[in-house]
Amino acid sequence: MRISSVMRAQEIARRGYVRVAVFLMALIVMCFTIAVNSAYGQADQGAITGIISDPSGAAIPNAQVTLENTDTGLVLKASSDQSGVYTFSPIKIGNYKVSVTAPGFATTTQDNLQLNLQQRLAVNLQLTLGQVSQQVEVSAAPPVMQTEDASVGQEYSTNTINSTPLNGRNYVYIAQLAAGIVPTGNSRGGGTGDFSANGQSNTQNNFMLNGVDNNVNVVDYLNQASYTVRPPPDAL
């Protein structure tokens, strides 16, 4: 009887350990999934959207819209909705052109579109009457004013990064060229390029590297910086 009781207790304990192990495994998988989805949301992507209209300004539904990445040759297709709106999202940053065809209208193409990181680029196209075989090309770039989203930011090209003398080849110093940015005044981050944005603490900055969290969550006594990995400027 005693042996049976002991064996039963051991079996119950074993089952309890199995349940705990399964729970922990499920928790780990869930956390990993959330982290991966968050990383994808911050990756090198953006969106191109706009309204297709006729010469009077009326929306053209069901227009066929073709997006081509002029760097890679990738082609995507979509149709405008009942309000004439089309959207390509998410798409990789790079250079694009948009072509639109609709019955009774000439094919219209907008060239020289540059999509930057997390940008929502508005490309509105007004079609002209004619045959689909006729071509209308718009080579002038669309207005640079950002009307699709209220975020405020500044981007720097490879040219700017390569031509700016950087202390210790630290790319973070580039951020100090933006409006509202000043070097941090505290000991943490001194000499590492850490900065205060519009009066906020440097610990409130968010560093992302290829869509992955690159922030130091505890005081880094070794590097005295708010970021973890510092890639060389040539890699940017």
Average pLDDT over residues 9-23: 56
Segment among 84-88, 150-154, 225-229 with least mean pLDDT? 150-154
Residue whose entry in the numeric block shows the structure tokens 């689909």: 132
pLDDT of residue 194: 84
Contact of 108 with 100, CB cutoff 8 Å: yes
Q: pLDDT digit string (tens) for 163-209?
A: 888 888 888 888 888 888 888 765 444 568 888 888 888 778 888 88
CA distances from 162 to 33, 169, 235 (A): 37, 10, 10
Residue 126 backbone phi and psi in degrees, to 5: -105, 115
pLDDT of residue 35: 45
DSSP 77-145: EEE--TTSEEEEEEEESEEEEEEEE-TTB-EEEEEEEEE-TT-EEE--EE--BS-TTSEEEE-SPPP--
Q: pLDDT digit string (tens) for 32-76?
A: 444 444 444 445 788 999 999 999 999 999 999 999 999 999 999
Residue whose entry in the numeric block shows the structure tokens 């440097």: 202
CA distance 154 to 10: 63
- pLDDT exceeds 80 at position 217: no
CA distance 135 to 109: 8
